[in-house]
Amino acid sequence: MEYLDNTVKSAEEVGRYTSLPTLGVVPAFGNHSGYRYYYSYGSDKNVGKNKKKQKKEEHEKPENIELIAHLSPESAFSENYRSLRTALLLSGPQSNLKTIMVTSPLPGEGKSTTISNLAISFTQMGKKVLIIDADLRKPKQHQIFKMKNHEGLTSYLAMDLPLEKLIKSAIAPSLYLINSGPIPPNPAELLGSDKMARLLSSLKNQFDFILIDTPPILTVTDAQIVGKLVDGLVLVVRAEKTPRNALVQTRELIDLFKLRTFGVVINGLNIDSHDYYSRHYYHHYYKEYRG
């Protein structure tokens, strides 16, 4: 209980401990999350039709949230990731929004899931998107996209894998993945190498957006190293799991290394007990459709 009492429980708290804007909120996923899976639109005369459609969609809903933006694009959860995409695009000039690192203070806060769904939401705009799994310690993107992890980023950086074998087509149109490859003995050295910097510079000319998955920023130095190579980072936290002091330490590291940070994504927020969610949503919809 002491651990839970020290965790952040609202977007306002996250802002207080990081002094960063909240880009998006993704409620808890599951049958007992208290969050409506699908939106319901239409007039009263369409209620019966909408209920039948919703019943069919709920029967087909994915078992997890990892690729929900692709598997269930009309769901409310997919809309959460589109809202995150919009907020990110509005956070600054798009010319400065090419390479985006996604990390978290600690493990288990949802950074890899955030990347996979955010990438898919960008492809739904017609953008060509690349995910790079630079978590060379506990990689997950190959599992999310159901790919083998025999050759990947480490094979390219350490063993001269040809570039044409490095980039693989993923599940959605115009979405590509560089999986991590075999776990190396020296992840930080590989990520900090000149070859890694040259790779990112070269890939910028081939893709509209490059999203990079890294280990948690407080556990190892890898995220700090990659953070110096990208246009900015997105920090992922989980409500009622991320300790407040972890947010304070993360902000100190960001300031120490002068890492540009776009904002925070909050996973697992209990929206029933906070009115922030609706305010956040209407704010960004107003900005998006205002033009």
Report the CATH number at residue 61.
3.40.50.300
What range does the domain containing 49 cover? 2-290
Is residue 14 within 8 A of residue 240, CB to CB? The reply is no
* pLDDT reading at 125 higher than 70: yes
Q: Which helix (H) or strand (E) holds 209?
A: strand 209-213
Element (H, E) at 84: helix 76-89
pLDDT at 43 over 60: no
The Cα–Cα gap between 137 and 142 comes to: 13
Tell me the Ramachandran region of residue 30: left when phi exceeds 0, alpha when psi lies from -120 to 50, beta otherwise: left
Q: 36-45, 162-171, 208-217 — which is least confidently predicted? A: 36-45
* Structure tokens that stand for 5 in this block: 């009492």
Q: Which residue in 115, 114, 113, 157 sits closest to 132, CA to CA?
A: 115
What per-residue confidence (pLDDT) applies to 5?
65
For the chain, what is the mean pLDDT? 85
Are 235 and 20 spatial neighbours (Cβ–Cβ below 8 Å)?
yes
3 — pLDDT class (breaks 50, 70, 90): very low
Highest mean pLDDT among 170-184, 259-273, 277-291: 170-184
Least confident among 79-88, 219-228, 278-287: 278-287
Confidence category of residue 277, pLDDT binned at 50, 70, 90: very low
Average pLDDT, stretch 32-40? 47
Give the pLDDT band of residue 288 (cuts 50, 70, 90). very low
Does the pLDDT value for residue 1 go beyond 50?
no
84, 217 contact by CB (below 8 A): no
Q: How far apart are CA 1 and CA 121, in angstroms?
A: 37
Query: How much is the pLDDT for 36?
Result: 52
Task: Give the mean model confidence (pLDDT) for residues 17-28.
Answer: 94
Spatial separation of the C-alpha atoms in residues 135 and 188, rounded to whole Å: 10
pLDDT over 70, % of the chain: 80
pLDDT at 287: 39
Q: Give pLDDT, residue 90.
A: 92
Share of the chain above pLDDT 90, in %: 71
Q: Where does the pLDDT of residue 270 fall: very low under 50, low under 70, confident under 90, or very high at 90 and above? A: confident
The predicted model gives 14-22 an average pLDDT of 96
Position 279 scores a pLDDT of 47
Tell me what pLDDT residue 13 has. 94
The per-residue pLDDT for 95 is 72
The total of structural domains in the chain comes to: 1
Q: For 137-159, how does the pLDDT look when each residue is reduced to its tens digit (9 = 90+)?
A: 999 999 999 999 999 999 999 99
How far CA 31 is from CA of 35, 43, 61, 96, 131, in Å, comes to 9, 27, 11, 39, 29
> Quick check: 179 pLDDT over 80?
yes
Are 63 and 239 in contact, with CB atoms under 8 Å apart?
no
- The whole-angstrom separation of Cα 107 and Cα 207 is 28
Predicted local distance difference test score (pLDDT) of residue 106: 97
- Spatial strand order of the sheet with 129-133 comes to 22-27, 261-269, 232-238, 99-103, 209-213, 129-133, 175-178, 168-169
Cα torsion through 264, 270, 272, 276, rounded to 10: -10
